Structure 1
Amino acid sequence: MVDAMHAIPTNGWRSALQRWIPVFLWAGLIFYFSTESFSFSNTEGFFSDWLFWFLPEISPAQFMALHLVSRKAAHWFEYFVLGILLLRAQRHRDESKLSLATIAWTLALVLAYAASDEYHQSWVLERTASAVDVAIDTFGGICGVFWICLSRKRSTGA
């Protein structure tokens, strides 16, 4: 069975669209998550209802810690997926292995988008920009790329 990452894309604009549309849709979703709708205070209510249902005895300090950790995990996951999508989008038809240049370019794009996302958040009233979030986002992208490299290595037996 061949998964989407290992399928050899065909030439032409249709192939490019098939590879790049998911990247732009995911980047748009990340941009939307950077709006005021997903600020700490706006996600607190949803998160508290959900968490208190599972853990009714949780203290306010524990709640705040779990809310923060879950938000940082969401940052990581968003960019884990973005790294995978960017790597897949850049794959060339004649490329049997991922080149170091493709990997480096993918990580540069992840870092650039993470930084621009935090810049965007600096202009949103209830959001703040954070270098820590850029680092978490970039680490998520690195993990996504690493995961693809490992899965390709296992599937090819290299």
Structure 2
Amino acid sequence: MPHRGKIIFSWALVALWAAVIFFMSAHTGSDFDGEGPLAAVKRWLVGLVAPVFGPETDVVNVAAHFTEYLVLGALLFVALRCTWPESSSSRLVLAAIALASAYAVTDEFHQSFVPGRLCDPADWLTDTLGATLGAVIVLALSKRGGAAEHRSA
């Protein structure tokens, strides 16, 4: 794929994932009770955490926030690296974290208008930590891949 195509595709994935986060933020957990694929995912997550943390725990919410932003941080790092391949990896990681964290602020603000949801600084912190891990994982995998390419050359 030409360089311009990679840039467009990587940012399209970021935008698509941001839309998924927006969609999820527009709903409460009870919106995913009943039937359907999202309800099945919720039941599966509750089944995983309930035996460890108890059935009334909010770990599912924390896990959802963390995972959503882990993916966003990873996608942002890839998009930034495609856009500015000559930039240092540490700057790209910091930029991905900053962008994801800023989006998390807008996400929490959005949730303050959704009945049954609220603006929670702890959720913002969870989102930022998830984005940090996502960006760092992609960085580590890319460095590992680069080292493997050097050894095989």
Q: TM-score range by the shorter chain?
A: 0.7 to 0.9
Q: Tell me how far apart the structure 2 counterparts of residues 15 and 41 of structure 1 sit (CA, whole Å).
A: 38
Structure 2 residue aligned with 1:151, among 141, 145, 150?
141
Q: Please, which of 45, 56, 63 is the counterpart of residue 64 of structure 1?
A: 56
Counterpart in the other structure of 1:50: 43
Q: 1:56-87: CA deviations, max 9, x gaps?
A: xx7xx92111xx11121011010000011111
Q: Is 1:138 the counterpart of 2:128 in the alignment? A: yes
Name structure 1 gaps, 5 residues minimum.
1-8
- TM value normalised by structure 2: 0.77
Gaps of at least 5 residues in structure 2 are 149-153
Given residue 16 of structure 1, which amino acid in structure 2 is its aligned partner? Answer: I
1:107 and 2:94 correspond: no
Amino acid in the other structure paired with 1:23: V
* TM-fit CA distance, 1:118: 0.3
Residue 41 (str. 1) matches residue 30 (str. 2): yes
One-letter amino acid matched to 2:131: G
Q: How far did 1:154 drift?
A: 1.6
What are the residue-to-residue correspondences of 1:62-141 with 2, within 5 Å?
62-65=54-57, 68-92=58-82, 95=85, 98-141=88-131
State the shift of 1:149 in Å.
1.6
* Matching residue's letter, 1:42: D
- Shift of the 72–127 alpha-carbon distance from structure 1 to 2, 3 Å rule, reads same
Tell me the TM-score normalized by structure 1. 0.75
1:101-133 per-position Cα deviation (integer Å, ceiling 9, x unaligned): 222211110110011000000011111110000
Q: Give a deviation string over 1:2-48, Cα, whole Å, max 9, x none.
A: xxxxxxx6333x33321111000000000000013xx133345647x
Count of paired positions? 139
Pick the aligned partner of 2:17 from 13, 26, 31.
26
2:66–2:129: 8 Å Cα contact kept in structure 1?
A: yes
Q: Give the counterpart letter for 2:145 in structure 1.
A: S
Contact 2:10/2:82, CA 8 A, preserved across alignment: no
Contact in 2 for aligned 1:30/1:78 (Cα 8 Å): yes
Q: How many angstroms apart in 1 are the aligned matches of 2:118 and 2:96?
A: 26
Matches of 1:94 and 1:136, distance apart in 2: 27
Aligned-CA RMSD value: 2.9
Quote the sequence identity (%): 32
In the TM superposition, structure 1's runs of 4+ consecutive aligned residues that sit over 2 Å from their partners are: 9-12, 40-47, 92-101
Distance 2:59 2:47 in 1: 16
Partner amino acid for 1:17?
I
